[in-house]
Structure 1
Amino acid sequence: MTRVVVADDQAVVRAGFAAILDAAPDLEVVGAAADGRELVDLVAAQQPDVAVVDVRMPVLDGIEATRLLVAHHPATRVLVLTTFDLDEYVYDALRAGASGFLLKDVPASRLVESVRLVADGSMLLGPTVTRRLVEDFAGRPAADRPDGAAAIALATLTPRETEVVAAVARGLSNAEVGAELFITEPTVKSHVSEALRKLGCRDRVQLVIAAYEAGLVRPAAGGGTG
């Protein structure tokens, strides 16, 4: 059972998301918060697997709340939901350590599946986000990037690890990577963990960036991978 908390300053939205997620047989909503500070306290008390977090909240916004959760409760993965499809929110959320970013108008089934994917350790980005993230990253000062040796270190990966990294960079979940490469999900997770270690990447987002920087995969001309 995956334990989930929901944070949104609108009571109707908060209750709606909670009801949708709690109706899934493998998800359990263990709490809801109306602002970022309540969310941080709730996660400290409940230690959920996933926090579904709105960006615009009073007291403490979702981005800052995400930073605090990642710093103090790293076992809780954060899925950011917002009404606003603005690059600044995407980048701020991912830089803060969020594992996924979706708009609030996603279908109920997609929301449920997204929570499952994030809980499983997958990186989840909506359409076009990956390409924009890579383009934005390329324009950042070197000090804001992961270790510059990460791209060079791709040469240290085994052929199978390279295949897994390329698939992850295309936005595939662990299950999808396994199906494509005919390996089990635990094996995929093992390869991802080893690639993160070898490349000096903090998370799957940086892993994707390293793959794009090295030319292992390239942004699609008309949209993103996710």
Structure 2
Amino acid sequence: MIRVVVADESSLVRTTLSALLATEDDISTVGEVDTCEGLVDAAAAWRPDLVLLDLDLVDATHAHAGRLAEALHRQDPPVRLLLLTTLGRPTSVLPVLSAKAGSMLLKNTAPRQMIEAIRRTAAGEQVLCAELETTADRLRNSPLNEAETAVLDRMACGGGIADAAAQLGFSQSVVQRHLLSALRKVGGRDAVDGGRKARANGWV
């Protein structure tokens, strides 16, 4: 039996997903949460095999998706993570690829595909739908690391170093170092130019 925790701020979504899982003989919903606070502790208490998580519930910047996946995967027994997202942006996909402990689907994925993804993720596979796999292929060829991608993404629209530091939890000096490294790699004159070039290649 695959034990699942459903994490979504919408009670309707949680109820719908739980009802879908209840139709399967080999899947059981063992808990529901509406915030990410304490999710790791809740998973330790309920001992699920997998957490079905709305990516928007992680935080506004998606910065903690990878760390959350890693924390759950370190539990004994390890907990896998299946993230659901409305957008396949590189900055959303990259943390999951880096963690190597979870899967990601778009929220409009067909129910049968989601059920199959739950089974495959619980078995240890990393599942990405076709749209996200295309994004993942571009990211695997990106010269930018995760921190450089996050910094360039936030500063490409004209935001300042202080804003990026506050959003990412970095010091301003660390943001500046990652930005300069990113610009060297993509050949940008500044954050806006670098962001334009990186987006053209699908890296941010």
Q: What's the TM-score once normalised by structure 1's chain length? A: 0.56
Superposed displacement of residue 74, structure 1:
6.2
Q: Which amino acid aligns with 1:37?
A: E
Q: Where does 1:105-144 land on structure 2 (aligned, <5 Å)?
A: 105-140=108-143
CA RMSD, Structure 1 to Structure 2 (Å) = 2.6
2:96 corresponds in structure 1 to 93
Equivalent residues of 1:9, 1:58 under 8 A apart: no
Q: Secondary structure at the match of 1:52?
A: strand
Kindly indicate whether the alpha-carbon contact (under 8 Å) linking 2:88 and 2:135 is maintained by their aligned counterparts in 1.
Answer: no
Structure 1 stretches lacking a partner, 5+ long: 145-226
- Say if 1:135 and 1:12 are closer, same or farther in 2 by CA, change over 3 A: same
What is the match of residue 41 of structure 1?
A: 41
Number of residues of Structure 1 aligned to a counterpart in Structure 2: 144
Match of 1:30 in 2: 30
Is the Cα–Cα contact under 8 Å of residues 94 and 146 in structure 2 kept in the other structure?
no
TM-score by length of 2: 0.62
The aligned residue for residue 20 of structure 1 is 20
Q: Which residue of 2 aligns with 1:69?
A: 72
Aligned in 2, Cα 1:23/1:39: closer, same or farther, shift over 3 Å? farther
Deviations along 1:185-209, whole A, 9 cap, x unmatched?
A: xxxxxxxxxxxxxxxxxxxxxxxxx
Q: 2: distance between equivalents of 1:143 and 1:68?
A: 18
Q: What is the distance in 1 between the residues matched to 2:59 and 2:134?
A: 32
The alpha-carbon deviation at position 58 of structure 1 amounts to 6.5
CA–CA separation in structure 2 for the residues paired with 1:112 and 1:41:
25
Cα distance, 1:135–1:29 mapped onto 2, change above 3 Å: same
Question: In 1, distance between residues paired with 2:76 and 2:139?
Answer: 28
Does the 8 A contact of 1:70 with 1:96 survive in 2? no
Change (3 A) 1:12 1:76: same
1:52-87 C-alpha deviation (Å, 9 max, x unpaired): 111112779661532432344561111111122222
Equivalent AA in structure 1 for residue 139 of structure 2: D
What is the percentage of aligned positions where both structures have the same residue?
Answer: 28
Aligned to 1:10: 10
Residue by residue over 1:97-132, the C-alpha shift from the partner in whole angstroms, topping out at 9 and shown as x without a partner, is 442110111111111111011111222111043343
